[in-house]
Amino acid sequence: MNRPLRLFIDIGSWLITVAITLIGLAALTFFIGRVLPIDPVLSIVGEKATPEVYQKVYLELGLDKPLWAQFWDYLNKLLRGDFGTSFSTSRPVLTDLLNFFPATLELSTIGLIIGVVLGVPMGVASAYWHEKWPDHLLRVIGLVGYSVPVFWLGLVGLFVFYYLLGWVSGPGQLDVFFVGVVDRVTGSILIDSALAGEWEIFGNAISHMILPAMLLGYYSLAYISRMTRSVMLDQLSREYVLTARLKGASEFRAVAGHALRNAAIPLVTVIALSYGGLLEGSVLIETIFSWPGIGNYIYSSLFAADMNAVLGGTLLVGVVFILLNMLSDVLYRALDPRSREFAK
Amino acid sequence: MSVTPDLVDDPKRAVRAARWAEFKVFTRRFMRNPLGVLGLVIVVLLLLCAAFAPLLATHDPYLPSLADRLAPPSATYWLGADELGRDIYSRIVYGSQLTLLIVALVIVTSAPIGLIIGAVSGTVGGWVDVIFMRITDVFLAIPKLLLALAFVAALGPGITNAALAITLTAWPPYARLARAEALVVRNSDYVNAVRLAGASEFRIIVFHVIPMCLSSVIVRMTFDMAGIILTAAGLGFIGLGAQPPLPEWGAMISTGRKFIFDQWWVATVPGIAIFTVSLGFNLLGDAMRDLLDPHLRQRK
């Protein structure tokens, strides 16, 4: 088969996979939102509604139609960007989500950067000194990261670094008197304040962000360093590393220049996956730090029994998560020449 | 031949002796891994703690005593008292029962579901395989905690619903595992022999494929328990897990959150309990994987 055609088929089948997964996600939220509650009408009109009102809402929700038709309507609405209206803020859910998403994205991106910058060297060191003390030490650090409840670590972090030591600022994105000073351009407080030249606010934002970002970073570090370790262990035992050493390459060059370069390809997948994990982890972290992001939005909507907002948030994070997964798949193929050569 | 005549005469005893020898080797290799032993000790302590909670607890975990509200750790209240003056130590001891209950509920539902779906999918193949694996992929592609959260939000909070929601997110990895094993086993000679002898697909799946998947599923289960504990605690913390006055650890952190600066023990102590238990399962899982995983076993 010639190349362009094969590429076309590859991209086509990839798009179909993405589409099926997204429809599956929509089916799940549809199921949770419409099918699970005993009576979706009652949850809107309340117990004391007259039969007329009940009937009206019943028809408005389209509950008289068969289930597949309801799902079809639901999909159409989603594609038009209609996630319903939030009961608590009485704004369209999509507007709310777009409002809160940049803060989450900013926090988890910085968390990811911390996780990669620390996690990859840790994993490499762990593999290089396999079964020596650095390996054991780093393994314990990773295991603790796997085992500790992230929301508890957030609370303890606040207690120690904010209350006892006073090194960082407390919950929230900015000190109260800075809120609303900077015009919202991108939604990311660091970029916005830098654009406006408000360096005082920039510094304040950093001192608020550093603790939650470090915690998220630690959370992803556990995963990234573990995966780096196992990939590097595999690479370091290969013959090309031995060859490089025999030809007189320095240890640093053999490890960083040869082995790590080959390990980088699977690591891209790992990093993309942990980015998705961070978006999810930020739900709990945000509630601890009153961070004005999606996680906090979902959390407060839960208590207002605002299912549209909860499901909308779930959908948005789910879509980003799925796209990241799929992106990592594509990156893997694009970076690794072997997976191109031998693709069926 | 003359050395082991009794074994050949008595095959049942031979099997038992072989199993016993294998078990001894297994134990010896396990004991060589200090971290694994530590994990096992933690898990056993958790089990004992749950079993003998009424004996270990010093107070009634539900009985409020407003005079001792938020009392600091002392001789009467070993780990302090919470916002209603209930003894935190006793609540943690009783909380171990809830933690184990949730873990058990999730494991006994998700592992068999995943195992059956994976084994059927891998053995039967064809359209069944395609459809089952698509569904599995969809579930794998969705953030777990969020899915569980939305699910409990719709069903209403509570332990059973939380466990159900975690099950919903926990079965796909088992299906993947079981399918991978089944694909290998399906075409092996002994399965073909059984098939030729006239065994039904059902019989092959139940008696020949599923037993082969068990070892990797058990390893996965041990690891998963740590994750389940953390997710359950997260749901409890958000307020969707066990409801008050139940002494669930995550919910205890959530109530202690208000007093974190002045009465730090209310929130930190349950967190240490969650951390210890989940670390125990992780350590045990690590050790089990080194011992049971056939791929790793061959390398050493």
Q: What is the mean pLDDT of residues A244-256?
A: 86
pTM for the model stands at: 0.86
- Across B109-130, b (16+ Cβ under 10 Å) vs e yields bbbebbbbbbbbbbbbeeeebe
User: Lowest-confidence range among A1-10, A119-128, B256-265, B277-286?
Assistant: A1-10
- Mean pLDDT score across all residues of chain A: 83
Assess if residue B300 is contained within a domain.
no
DSSP structure class, residue A92: B
**Does residue B20 form part of some domain?**
no
CA angle A170, B256, A294 (to 5 degrees): 50
| Burial bucket for residue B66 (CB in 10 Å: 0-12, 13-18, 19+) | exposed
A164/A141 Cα distance (integer angstroms): 24
Q: To the nearest whole angstrom, how far is the Cα of B7 from the nearest Cα of chain A? A: 42
**What average pLDDT does the structure give for chain B?**
86
Say yes or no to pLDDT of B40 above 90.
yes
- How far, in Å, are A189, A279, A281, A290, A335 from residue A107 at the CA level? 10, 9, 11, 12, 28
Residue type, A225: S
Residue-level pLDDT at A138: 87
Higher confidence at residue A270 or residue B5? A270
Residue B26 resides in a domain: no
Range of the domain at B258: 44-60+75-292
Per residue in A48-97, pLDDT tens? 777 888 787 777 777 777 888 888 888 888 888 888 888 777 788 888 88
Is B79 inside a domain boundary? yes
Q: What is the mean pLDDT of residues B66-81?
A: 84
Residue A344 has pLDDT above 70, yes or no: no
Identify which of A34-48, A63-77, A264-278, B110-124 has the greatest average pLDDT: B110-124
- The residue of B99, B139, B140, B142 whose CB has the most chain A CBs within 10 angstroms, and thus the best one to mutate to test that interface, is B142
CB contact under 8 A, A314 and B257: no
Where residue A172 falls (left for φ over 0; alpha for ψ -120 to 50; beta otherwise) is left
Between residues A185 and A313, the one the model is more confident about: A313
- DSSP assignments along A241-283, one per residue: HHHHHHTT--HHIIIIIIIHHHHHHHHHHHHHHHHHHHHHHHH
Answer yes or no: is pLDDT of B299 > 60: no
Tell me, what's the pLDDT at A267? Answer: 87
Considering only alpha carbons, which residue of chain B is nearest residue A39? B154
Within-domain flag for B168 = yes
**pLDDT score of B300:** 38
**Beta carbons of A321 and B261 less than 8 Å apart:** no
Can you tell me which residue has the tokens 């777009």? A98
Contacts of B143 in chain A (CB under 8 A): 276-277, 279-280, 314, 317-318, 321
For B91, residues 6+ apart whose C-beta sits below 8 A from its C-beta are: B61, B82, B247, B252, B270
- What's the CATH code of the domain at B146? 1.10.3720.10
**What is the model's pLDDT at position A122?**
92
* Residue B133: per-residue pLDDT: 87
Q: How far apart are the C-alpha atoms of B234 and A299, rounded to whole Å?
A: 12
- The whole-number pLDDT of residue A340 equals 61
Residue B9 lies in a domain: no
Span of A101-110, A328-337, B142-151, B240-249 with lowest mean pLDDT:
A328-337
Q: Phi and psi at residue A327, in whole multiples of 5°?
A: -60, -40
Assembly ipTM: 0.84
Domains of chain B: total? 1
**Identity of the amino acid at A325:** N
- Cβ–Cβ gap A159/B271 under 8 Å: no
Q: Is the dihedral of CA B47, B50, B53, B57 positive or negative?
A: positive
- In the block, residue with structure tokens 């992106």: A327
CB contact under 8 A, B234 and A149: yes
pLDDT band of B1, cuts 50, 70, 90: very low
What tokens appear for A261 in the block? Answer: 């370069």
Question: Using beta carbons and an 8 Å cutoff, which residues of B are at the interface with A?
Answer: 134-135, 137-139, 141-147, 149-151, 153-155, 226, 230, 233-234, 237-240, 250, 253, 257, 260-261, 264, 267-268, 270-271, 274-275, 278-279, 282-283, 286
- C-beta atoms of B271 and A152 within 8 A: yes
Higher pLDDT, A208 or A344: A208
Per-residue pLDDT, averaged over A237-251, amounts to: 87
Chains A and B form CB pairs within 8 A to the count of 133
Residue keyed to tokens 């619903």: B161
Which residues neighbour B48 within 8 Å (Cβ) at sequence distance 6 or greater? none
- What is the pLDDT confidence band of residue A43, given thresholds at 50, 70 and 90? low
Q: Which of residues 285-314 of A touch B (CB under 8 A)?
A: 287-288, 298-299, 302-303, 307, 310-311, 313-314
What lies within 8 Å, CB to CB, of B64 at 6+ separation is: B84, B85, B86
Contact state of A146 with B226 under an 8 Å Cβ cutoff: yes
Cβ neighbours of residue A20 closer than 8 Å, sequence gap 6 or more: B134, B138
Q: Is A228 exposed, middle or buried (0-12, 13-18, 19+ CB in 10 A)?
A: buried
H-helix segments, A31-66 = 40-45, 51-60
Asked whether residue B274 is domain-assigned, the answer is: yes
- Residue A58, helix vs strand vs coil: helix
With CB atoms and an 8 Å threshold, state whether B253 touches A152. Answer: yes
Q: Does the pLDDT value for residue A343 go beyond 60?
A: no
Mean pLDDT confidence for A149-177: 87
How confident is the model at residue B298, as a pLDDT? Answer: 46
Q: How confident is the model at residue B42, as a pLDDT? A: 94
Q: Please report whether residue B49 resides in a domain.
A: yes
Which residue, among A155, A215, A290, A327, would best test binding to B if mutated, counting the most B CBs under 10 Å from its CB? Answer: A155
What's at B3, amino acid-wise?
V
Place of tokens 């935190």: B88
Give the closest of A27, A310, A318 to B153, CB-based.
Answer: A310
Q: What is the distance between the alpha carbons of residues B7 and A328, in angstroms, rounded to a whole number?
A: 56
